[in-house]
């Protein structure tokens, strides 16, 4: 594997000159440039990314991890923030591994004084986006994607997971499967919803969905509504684990047993899911990986590597526990 030294030797110059040619920096005569490019072509050399990064990294970049005020409040209040807490923690760790120094900020108020930004969650709407675009600094969205918008983002694809889980229930012989979901303006929830629909259609079953808008207070009435208008389903698939837990709590109050009377499947695999009674069957979202990928991507963006926008979707994993058949 050729190194810069091989090129230097071949071209009869020093490694410094080769580096200058490659980076198009400093003074190099045209004649020398040509000789170096020839040597590079001839030997088939490409500089190693890791060595460049290491050598260049005198400066550590300052980045802002941005959450919304809403999320911040929720995360103080109760377990809703669990999900984002894990993501933030992962970003924190990973960003220093990428040579970036992170600070936690609110996306509504953060100033244009960082080298890059990571925006977490669906509250990063078009307005917020506009603000960040106008700052002319690289940023990546985590756990959110706005169809039609060209932005770097890291998401966990709900479609595949939802499709898999619902298909699993169908394969077990269940037919009356309900989806209780969050508002669909967030792509994450939308894709889970779509996956549910696709699986039901593929199984030749009638889908039935109920939406809640306030996860903290809405669940009793949603469950009530479902029981009144639809009766007891064979299974309930929810947008996320918190919703699943709330639903199960409501069912328990009414003496309905999980999973004997009805299977419940959540989404996310938050820490609670495993210790809840019954332990929750769910789809694991790899929150750590999301953070790591976000940092890597932002680092690339800041350094100008692979600047073309991408959407990175993590696959989820079905975790079978006791809350479902």
Partner DNA sequence: CCCCCTTATGTAAGCGCTTACATTCTTCCA
Partner DNA sequence: TGGAAGAATGTAAGCGCTTACATAAGGGGG
Nearer to DNA, 37 or 315 (CB): 37
Applying CB under 8 A, among 21, 186, 262, 314 the residue interacting with a copy of itself is 314
CA–CA separation, 281 vs 236, rounded Å? 11
56 near DNA (CB under 7 A): yes
126 near a copy of itself (CB under 8 A): no
34 near a copy of itself (CB under 8 A): no
Which strand (E) or helix (H) includes residue 211? strand 208-211
Task: Name the pairing type of β-strands 100-106 and 61-67.
Answer: parallel
Within residues 20-39, the interface with DNA by CB under 7 A covers 20, 22-23, 25-32
Residue 4 interaction partner, one of a copy of itself, DNA, none, beta carbon < 5-8 Å per kind = DNA
Cα dihedral 123→124→127→132 (10° resolution): 150
Applying CB under 7 A, among 38, 42, 48, 133 the residue interacting with DNA is 48
57 near a copy of itself (CB under 8 A): yes
Task: Please choose, from the candidates 110, 105, 101, the residue with its C-alpha nearest in 3D space to the C-alpha of residue 67.
Answer: 105
Applying CB under 7 A, among 38, 42, 57, 254 the residue interacting with DNA is 57
Reduced to 3 states (helix: H, G, I; strand: E, B; else coil), residue 267 is: coil
Nearer to a copy of itself, 310 or 325 (CB): 310
What is the nearest approach in angstroms of DNA to the Cβ of residue 286? 23
Using CA of residue 270, residue 109, residue 107, residue 86, what is the dihedral sign? negative
Residues with Cβ < 8 Å from 118, sequence gap 6 or more?
Answer: 63, 64, 65, 66, 91, 102, 139, 140, 142, 294, 295, 298
Enumerate binding residues for a copy of itself (CB under 8 A). 1-2, 44-51, 53-54, 57, 60, 93-94, 96-99, 101, 147-148, 150, 157, 160, 163-164, 286, 289, 292-293, 296, 306, 308-315
């Amino acid at each position: 594997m050729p190194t810069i030294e091989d090129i230097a030797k071949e071209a009869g110059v020093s490694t410094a000159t080769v580096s200058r040619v490659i980076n198009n920096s400093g003074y190099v005569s045209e004649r020398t440039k040509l000789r170096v490019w020839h040597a590079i072509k001839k030997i088939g050399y490409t500089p190693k990314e890791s060595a460049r990064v290491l050598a260049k990294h005198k400066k550590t970049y300052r980045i802002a991890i941005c959450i919304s005020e809403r999320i911040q409040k929720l995360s103080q209040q109760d377990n809703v923030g669990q999900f984002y807490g894990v993501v933030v923690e992962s970003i924190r760790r990973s960003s220093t591994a990428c040579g970036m120094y992170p600070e936690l900020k609110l996306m509504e108020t953060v100033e244009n004084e960082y080298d890059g930004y990571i925006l977490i969650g669906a509250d990063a709407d078009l307005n917020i986006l506009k603000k960040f675009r106008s700052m002319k600094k690289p940023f990546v969205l985590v756990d959110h994607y706005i169809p039609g918008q060209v932005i770097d983002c890291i998401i966990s694809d709900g479609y595949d997971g939802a499709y898999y889980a619902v298909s699993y229930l169908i394969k077990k012989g269940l037919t009356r499967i309900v989806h209780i979901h969050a508002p669909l303006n967030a792509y994450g929830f939308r894709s889970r919803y779509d996956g549910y629909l696709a699986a039901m259609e593929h199984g030749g079953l009638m889908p039935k969905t109920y939406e809640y808008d306030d996860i903290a207070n809405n669940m009793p009435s949603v469950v009530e509504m479902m029981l009144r208008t639809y009766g007891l389903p064979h299974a309930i698939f929810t947008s996320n684990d918190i919703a699943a837990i709330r639903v199960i709590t409501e069912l328990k109050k009414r003496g309905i047993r999980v999973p004997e009377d009805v299977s419940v499947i959540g989404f996310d695999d938050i820490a609670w899911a495993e210790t809840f009674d019954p332990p929750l069957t769910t789809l694991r979202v790899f929150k750590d990986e999301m953070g790591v990928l976000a940092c890597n991507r932002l680092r690339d963006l800041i350094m100008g590597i692979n600047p073309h926008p991408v959407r990175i979707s993590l696959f989820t994993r079905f975790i079978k526990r006791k809350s479902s058949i």
